Amino acid sequence: MAIFISLLLSAIFLALSAIHVYWVLGGKWGLAAAVPTNAGGQPLFRPGPVATLAVAGGLLLMGLTVLVRGGLIQFDWLPDRVGEWSVWAIAAIFLLRAVGDFRYVGFFKKERGALFARMDKRYFSPLCLAIGCLAVLLQFLT
């Protein structure tokens, strides 16, 4: 079961990373719904290519991390504690993201009319919750 969860999480992280690279390369699909907006429809921030590429790299690293934790890849020089704590960090990041900031992102946001808010309610927050729960489950299975 740990191998399946590890592969599933890795595939999710790879797909999310690829979407971010697509945006860096000029892709537009999904971009309008990717950043939280205020009530007036103005983006709360405008990530540049370097920041977007950094997120893509971080997601790719998370995918590698869950493969290591699931035992599918081994780095003999890497202490087991690093993989363990890294997956706990991944779980915390995504569970906190699912809860949100109580204003613009997460299940408990107040802003609900914008495109991002609707996509967040349907897709982004549930995906973050699933990733967080799967990371916790991976920890208990390894």
Give the three-class secondary structure for 37.
strand
Alpha-carbon gap, residue 49 to 23, rounded angstroms:
8
Residue 42 · residue 92 · CB < 8 Å: no
Domain layout of the chain by residue ranges: 2-25+48-141
pLDDT at 39 over 90: no
Specify the pLDDT at position 60. Answer: 98
Specify the pLDDT at position 68. Answer: 93
User: What is the CB neighbour count within 10 angstroms for residue 112?
Assistant: 11
Specify the pLDDT at position 42. Answer: 87
Which of 114, 115, 135, 117 minimizes the C-alpha distance to 125?
A: 117
Residue 81 · residue 69 · CB < 8 Å: no
DSSP 31-49: GGGSS-B-TTS-BS----H
* Close Cβ partners of 96 (under 8 Å, ≥ 6 residues apart): none
Alpha-carbon gap, residue 18 to 60, rounded angstroms:
9
Specify the pLDDT at position 41. Answer: 80
Q: What digits encode the pLDDT tens for the residues 80-116?
A: 788 889 999 999 999 999 999 999 999 999 988 889 9
pLDDT at 127 over 90: yes
| Token code pair at residue 132 | 């967080």
Q: Average pLDDT for residues 28-55, to the nearest whole number?
A: 91
Considering the chain, what percentage of its residues have pLDDT values greater than 70? 100
